[in-house]
Amino acid sequence: MIPPGAPILTADAMRTAEEAVFARGVSQDELMERAGAAVAREAVRFAMGRSVLVLAGPGNNGGDAYVVARHLREAGLDVLVAASGAPKQGAAERMHARWKGPTTSLYGAPVRPVVIDGLFGIGVTRSLERSIAAVLSELVRGAEFTLAIDLPSGMDTDSGDELGAPRGVNATVALGALKPAHVLGDGLSRCGHVLLADIGIPVESAWRSVARPQMETPGPRTHKYSRGLVAVVEGAMPGAGRLAARAAMASGAGYVMLAGPDPAGPAPDALVRRTIDDADDLADFLAGDRIDAVVLGPGLGRDRRAEAFLRAGLAVDKPLVLDGDALSLLGTSAAATLAAREAPVWITPHGGEFDRMFAGTGSKIDRTLQAAASGATVVHKGGDTVIAGPDGRVRVLAGASPWLSTAGTGDVLAGLLGAQIGQGGSGVDPAAAAVWLHGRAAQLAGPAFFADQLVAQLPEACSECL
């Protein structure tokens, strides 16, 4: 569980935000006291009177840990600090000096039912030594509940790669803002529930976790065309196009058309079918005045006809979603092709498709932003779905149901996005709305669902946004 709509800051950006607070006259001690008090408030609730082992490292994460230990002791709990080297300077050293309770070495610390992990936070620069990682892992495994201060110790803050962090942390209190490691990669399985503590650091960030969108209830003047006409292009695998079309229908589109060489098929009857003979025919159809958004790629195929359909789609001056086979066809020329297009375009690659289209360096957020420099809004899917716009805005949905890893759920997302952009909106906002609805529908569907059943949950997910 990740706090929705929360800012995400890199380690450097967090330090800059912290400096601004110091420049306004807040002392380092005051900020550390706030951080420790915020973590202690959560820790007391979870400890429920059990004895606590506070792990304290040599840096500021350790400084926070000594504050937590003091508060928990004042609350009447039995607290033991296990230190890996005492802090030598600054606020952390002063917090260490204020700790009057028992302290032991990290090595040889006893297992206790509650562990507070304050060894390392955003200052980790290299993999933990094996001996530290092993002790940490053992103490966490032996505990009934572990709460990490800012991050589980041994995470790369900006990429979410684990650098020795233990498994089994139940909750993490993110200080001041989320960091990429709370929402990316290994962080998804290492942080447990992520709680966010406001410690009075003003944070500005173009990067945020996805929040529940606000949808509009149709009014007396609404008609089917004003709610968006979405055209879904069907190809070699008709089921995929139909899933996308049904997802658009079940998420608020006023009118959905399925266009392809042979668009007949099972219900729903409300889906309007249009036979397309060739790419010229498709271009004429898509250019029609009424069409607000085009979805192209699910089940399209990769043959010459599919290529021609893709060219026709790219040439149309309408908001466009490219998914699946369309992305495979774009391949390594994706960035150039997308940059050449003037009308808005969204692409929805999974990790494999993304890697076939873009090189890129850095974290998943960095690489998705680099891809969005092509002018497309990029929805880089996975357990951590990263949405990046050409304007530099980023939205991340972390921790969606892993049951989504079933064929056709990507087609559903493409249709959902078609419905969102058919109703207006640009860049990351409609993409974040589509990804939220997709994730919520998956929660509602529970375990072991298949893509059709995900579509069935979309009206319920929409009802939560009204």
Residue ranges at the known binding site for K(+): 61, 117, 153
Q: Please give the Cα distance from 19 to 16 (Å, whole number).
A: 5
Indicate whether 383 belongs to the interface with ligand ADP (CB under 6 A): yes
Exactly one of 70, 112, 246, 381 binds ligand ADP (CB under 6 A); that residue is: 381
Exactly one of 44, 77, 128, 203 binds ligand NPW (CB under 6 A); that residue is: 128
Q: Please give the Cα distance from 377 to 344 (Å, whole number).
A: 8
Helix 28-47 crosses helix 11-23 at what angle (to 10 degrees)?
120
Q: Is 289 exposed, middle or buried (0-12, 13-18, 19+ CB in 10 A)?
A: exposed
Q: How far is the CB of 232 from ligand NPW (least distance, A)?
A: 46
First vs last Cα of the chain: how many Å apart?
Answer: 22
Indicate whether 384 belongs to the interface with ligand NPW (CB under 6 A): no
Indicate whether 153 belongs to the interface with K ion (CB under 5 A): yes
Indicate whether 347 belongs to the interface with K ion (CB under 5 A): no
Which residues fall within 8 angstroms of residue 261, CB to CB, at 6 or more apart? 234, 275, 276, 277, 305
Helix (H, G, I), strand (E, B) or coil at 121: coil
Exactly one of 18, 117, 158, 292 binds K ion (CB under 5 A); that residue is: 117
Exactly one of 324, 390, 415, 427 binds ligand ADP (CB under 6 A); that residue is: 324
Annotated binding-site residue numbers: 60-64, 117, 121-127, 150, 153, 240, 299, 350, 381-385, 410-411
Indicate whether 405 belongs to the interface with ligand ADP (CB under 6 A): yes
Residue 117 interacts, among ligand ADP, ligand NPW, K ion, none and using kind-specific CB cut-offs from 5 to 8 Å, with K ion
Residue 382 interacts, among K ion, ligand ADP, ligand NPW, none and using kind-specific CB cut-offs from 5 to 8 Å, with ligand ADP
Residue 14 interacts, among K ion, ligand ADP, ligand NPW, none and using kind-specific CB cut-offs from 5 to 8 Å, with ligand NPW
Residue 124 interacts, among ligand NPW, ligand ADP, K ion, none and using kind-specific CB cut-offs from 5 to 8 Å, with ligand NPW
C-beta closer to K ion: residue 123 or 261: 123
Q: Please give the Cα distance from 270 to 265 (Å, whole number).
A: 12
- 3-state SS, one letter per residue, for 151-188: CCCCECCCCCCECCCCCCCCEEEEECCECHHHHCCCHH
Exactly one of 7, 58, 185, 324 binds ligand NPW (CB under 6 A); that residue is: 58
Place of tokens 């589509």: 434
Exactly one of 121, 252, 313, 344 binds ligand NPW (CB under 6 A); that residue is: 121
Percent of the chain that is helix, strand, coil (3-state, to 5): 40, 15, 40
Residue 409 interacts, among ligand ADP, ligand NPW, K ion, none and using kind-specific CB cut-offs from 5 to 8 Å, with ligand ADP
Token duo for residue 211: 């929040």
- Rg of the chain's alpha carbons, rounded to an integer? 25
The site for ligand ADP (CB under 6 A) is made up of 324, 350, 381-383, 385, 400-402, 404-405, 407-411, 413, 438
